[in-house]
Structure 1
């Protein structure tokens, strides 16, 4: 992923040049957008993964723990975790099983729906996710590699793209603008 030395040429700019040279001018900009976002995601995920590795966490496991820690009671129905993290139920079930195995989460019956399960954060899970969050804040989130203005602009652009794709609608009341 990350190179020990920067490449002498931007491979995405070269890909765009090739797209145009092959007559795909009308798709060149879109191809560059998609590959640029995907490459940025790879770079950020590599930083996140290296930060979480000492905690024996993947980003998926971290997200579940952090979501549970943010909840009022430290527990949520499995279906709520699926909806909020926008991940397939099978993925969340598999992630939850590993968290249960590691003693970071317990699975409890839902008090009102016998078909549903609750995921509850354990004390060990809360302590681990708090330490991991501190590490992510220090190593990644405080300096994602962009100025504050660029970060705000990028988040706003991506939010517009997500909204146009149907990822979310404006909630009421609306949160502060991104």
Structure 2
């Protein structure tokens, strides 16, 4: 059994920010601290999400595909549209769909209007797993993000501005 790492006496990102300033990089110090903090927070959140989804046999990428299909009117979407909505390369969607199909969670069929394209359809097992995973994530991760509601709203708004400025939407 592995032990959880002990808490550090000081925030290493804060220490790094101070070192940036000491070296004369004051103008870049806030950006370095923000980017590094975002990346560390992403690691923390990813570990929490993975701990919930791993016992269910899926990754977050596969969960996103299942949820996108769950939210669609027919429970099916063209693979190309899945890639566009998830903002990932089509190869990533192919990999996720391959694994989901092997597990019996989705079904792939040829698009009726384009033989080169595929329609991905959620199976009953996929719908059930998506429901269970969402319930578990809501209880263990999304419903307990370690921030109050106002902070969450501010965080989403700030990161949204960053994403928009980068051309994400």
- TM category (shorter chain) comes to over 0.9
Give the Cα–Cα distance (whole angstroms) in 2 for the partners of residues 105 and 81 of structure 1: 13
Question: Are 2:99 and 1:98 equivalent residues in the alignment?
Answer: yes
Give the Cα–Cα distance (whole angstroms) in 2 for the partners of residues 105 and 27 of structure 1: 46
Mapping for residues 148-159 of structure 1, pairs under 5 Å: 148-159=149-160
- How far does the alpha carbon of each residue in 1:94-113 deviate from its partner, in whole angstroms, 9 at most, with x for none? 11111111111111111111
Q: TM-score, normalised by structure 2?
A: 0.96
Unaligned runs of 5+ in 1: 169-178
Mapping for residues 19-30 of structure 1, pairs under 5 Å: 19-30=20-31
Give the Cα–Cα distance (whole angstroms) in 2 for the partners of residues 6 and 73 of structure 1: 48
Q: Which residue of 2 aligns with 1:117?
A: 118
CA displacement at 1:37 relative to structure 2? 0.6
Mapping for residues 122-161 of structure 1, pairs under 5 Å: 122-161=123-162
CA displacement at 1:24 relative to structure 2? 1.2
Mapping for residues 1-178 of structure 1, pairs under 5 Å: 3-168=4-169
CA displacement at 1:3 relative to structure 2? 4.6
Unaligned runs of 5+ in 2: none
Q: Which runs of 4+ in 1 moved over 4 A?
A: none
Give the Cα–Cα distance (whole angstroms) in 2 for the partners of residues 11 and 163 of structure 1: 29
CA displacement at 1:5 relative to structure 2? 2.5
Give the Cα–Cα distance (whole angstroms) in 1 for the partners of residues 158 and 4 of structure 2: 28
CA displacement at 1:4 relative to structure 2? 3.5
